[in-house]
A and B are shown apart, each in its own frame.
Chain A
Amino acid sequence: MYKRNNKPPDDNAAPKATKESPKNSGGLSRRKFLSASLLAGCAALGVAKQAGAGNEFKGWPKSYGMLTDFTACVGCRGCEEACNKANGMPQPEKSFDDESVFKEDRWPSAAALTVVNRFEDPKDPSRPVYRKIQCNHCLEPACASACPIHAYTKTPEGAVIYDADLCFGCRYCVIACPFNIPGYDYASAFEPKIVKCIMCYGKIKKGELPACADACPAGAITFGKREDLLKLARQKIMDNPEKYIDHIYGEREVGGTSWLYISGVPFEQLGFPTDLPKKPLVELTEGYLSSVPVIFTTFPAIFGLVYGAMKHRDKAEQKEKDHDHHTEGKQ
């Protein structure tokens, strides 16, 4: 029942997959699951539960990421246009140089994988702040662990991809995503599917840049190894402490995301959730999941015992009654 279809990550591209298995690239690996059940069993018996502590998944090593610098973004929407073309999406109603879209509070959807919104900088109202947003490609994605069909994969390259041929459209991934990112093309009757940024996975595998990073004329989007991007972001903040707030969004949020952001205004003002746990969200359900096999193991015995006890009492009472009858008869 818990057998998992182990899809080996296709790793002929740069980052080499190590033997460390991802705790969650959509599903628990079989070994991890067995050890989790065993662990739950031990916990139920009151045994110390440190046995599995060494299995912590720290993300794919050497995976790629993106760094968006909101102080550099000029709001040209070149990234939106490039994304639209690269993914073969239909042309939007308003063209990409139509600035009227900035009046709306837009969000990625089935029609656009990334959008740029304009915000007012409270410190300097003359200079607006632009926010580009798309899937953040979490290191341990909640969407992937939520999918009951394991249609999502966190690739060793860093991109979170999904298989539309498996999706049955429950949208639990949309519920689970802390950033409200996965879109669903509700308008399609026969082939609706999840639609979200996949970090141009095909291009990355070929050694090319993701379309938005390639198109950005302002150098606001940088593609690279996530660990290098973190260093770059820290350097930028250190060199310009008055320009940036001291926060790399995505470094630690929900266990870290492959897409990182730096900004001159607090992320809260740009609509980023700032009350998220620092640990991967999947960890919040692990305890529950590991209790399920315990229920299966112990309940038959507990309720079998209750049933047996009831039967036993009935029998004893019956015997007593028969005995009473017997002695009464003798008298």
Chain B
Amino acid sequence: MNSDMEYASRSRTSAGFAAWFMNKLFMGMSVSDYSRSLVTPFNLLAAAILATSLPIFITRYSKGLASVLDATNEYPWGLLLSWGIFAGEPLFAAGFVVAAGYYLFGMKTYRPLVRLAVLGGMLGYAFAASYLLIDLGRPWRIYYPMLINFGPASVLFIVAWHVGLYVTVQLMEFSPAILEWLGSKRLHKWAVSVTVGLIIGGVILSTVHQSALGAMYLITPGKLHPLWYSSYLPLLFFSSAIYAAMSFAILLAYAAERYFRDRCDKVFLSSVPDVTLSLGKGAAVALYVYFALKVLALAQDDRWSLLFTPFGYWYLVELIGFVALPTVLFTVGVKTAKVGLMRLAALWAVLGIVLNRVNVNLIAFNWKQPEHFERIIPSSGEVIMIAAMVTLHILVFRWILNRFPVMRELPEYKGLH
């Protein structure tokens, strides 16, 4: 990796460029060594999942949505969107939360984690868009709300624009890492200089679209169960995205430390415990706020009596088991300064977010329909497509972490960002 500059200068000849590029691609290994390094149990499992999903994806695009999904008038959106977009995006707020902490709020100790969090966010958003490309009836028209016709009274219009712009902003935020990989110093300098503006832009776009995901359900008072329906929905979605992001960042740092140790420099590795504790403290505060807002939402609409119904018990499982419990875990983690406990709390909080979004999207949505619970069970095709997307997500993430300077600083760029 230290010979980057050498390769960059040699890249003037086309043969030199090809050699330089292959070296980048195969991480300095020969093609046969590289291929051999790919045969691992995880990769075989990944290959099996992807191979199983391939015919399902082909069917979806050649025969239409009905061939793989059980969507109806009552349940137009299934687990694919609940998981892929509504549960995913709060986690992918990690990029904006960590970047805002470091660049705007002066939390200097977050620095080694910034790139990893921004990458986690950016890639997550790209995958969220991919889930949409599966679920949209005519995915080739995905740009229509941007270019063809505008529906500004639609909250989904707000989501579409903000997610679209935010992916662009994130790509620009991450661009220094790409430019370092390619060895372009001049562009790198320019990319670093616009960072603070981009971070503020990212904060705005994230705030709006995270809350907008909740605001999308403001129009469904007759369909979403009154325990989950609230005029606080935008606020609830936004505030939960904050602790979801912090928890996801904790888990990312853990995964990097554990599975990509040789791609991390000493600065990164030594910062992980402190950053984990600091993020955990933030997540605890955010969870207290979220818990209070959830209770206030019940009080505001006087929904207390509904707690003593079957849906109410389920609501309490979410509120006590997946909001209050991680709050306690984080709090004990702060008091005892235990990194492992913080990680457990983070995992629990992430599960809670997924549960909440699936509740709003699927379990508590159109709950009065006859045979509601039978009808929200996802089709096998849907589950396999989700498994394939998760697998692909991990593979792409790994591909990038193995190559780009994410958890380490290249010596020639030290102190430049």
Contacts and interface: CB of A to CB of B under 8 A. Distances in A.
Given A108-B73, A289-B158, A168 B151 contact: no
B61 A189 contact: yes
Given A27-B150, A184-B76, A300 B200 contact: yes
A178 interface: yes
B373 interface: no
A189 B63 contact: yes
Contacts of A178: 220-223
B26 interface: no
A284 B153 contact: no
B356 interface: no
A248 B336 CA distance: 64
A186 B211 CA distance: 29
Contact of B218 (A109, A276, A285): A285
B104 A288 contact: no
A169 B215 contact: no
Interface residues of A, number: 68
A24 interface: yes
Given A148-B160, A166-B148, A299-B203, A276 B221 contact: yes
A314 B220 CA distance: 49
A48 to B, nearest CB: 21
B400 interface: no
B230 to A, nearest CB: 11
A183 B1 CA distance: 56
A182 B145 CA distance: 20
B14 to A, nearest CB: 42
B262 interface: no
A189 B62 contact: yes
Interface string B138-152: 110110110011111
A232 interface: no
A148 B145 contact: yes
A307 B222 contact: no
A186 B156 contact: no
A12 interface: no
Interface stretch (B64-72, B287-295, B385-393): B64-72
B137 A304 contact: no
Given A2-B152, A167-B138, A300 B204 contact: yes
Contacts of A28: 152-153
A68 to B, nearest CB: 20
Interface string A306-321: 1100100110000000
A26 B150 CA distance: 9
Contacts of A100: none
Nearest to A304: B200
Q: Which of A4, A176, A192, A288 has the most CB of B within 10 A?
A: A288
A147 B64 contact: no
A27 B150 CA distance: 8
Given A171-B137, A295-B207, 20 more contacts: A2-B152, A5-B149, A145-B219, A148-B145, A150-B151, A150-B154, A167-B141, A168-B139, A169-B136, A182-B73, A186-B69, A187-B63, A189-B61, A192-B65, A284-B231, A285-B219, A289-B152, A289-B155, A289-B158, A307-B196
Interface of A: 1-5, 24, 26-28, 33, 105, 107-109, 142, 145-151, 166-172, 174-176, 178, 180-184, 186-193, 273, 275-277, 281-282, 284-285, 288-289, 292, 295-296, 299-300, 303-304, 306-307, 310, 313-314
Interface of B: 61-67, 69, 71-74, 76-77, 100, 103-106, 136-139, 141-142, 144-145, 148-161, 196, 200, 203-204, 207-208, 211-212, 215-216, 218-223, 231, 234, 366, 368, 370
15 contacts: A4-B152, A27-B151, A145-B153, A148-B145, A169-B141, A172-B156, A176-B220, A180-B366, A184-B137, A186-B64, A186-B71, A192-B138, A285-B155, A285-B219, A295-B207
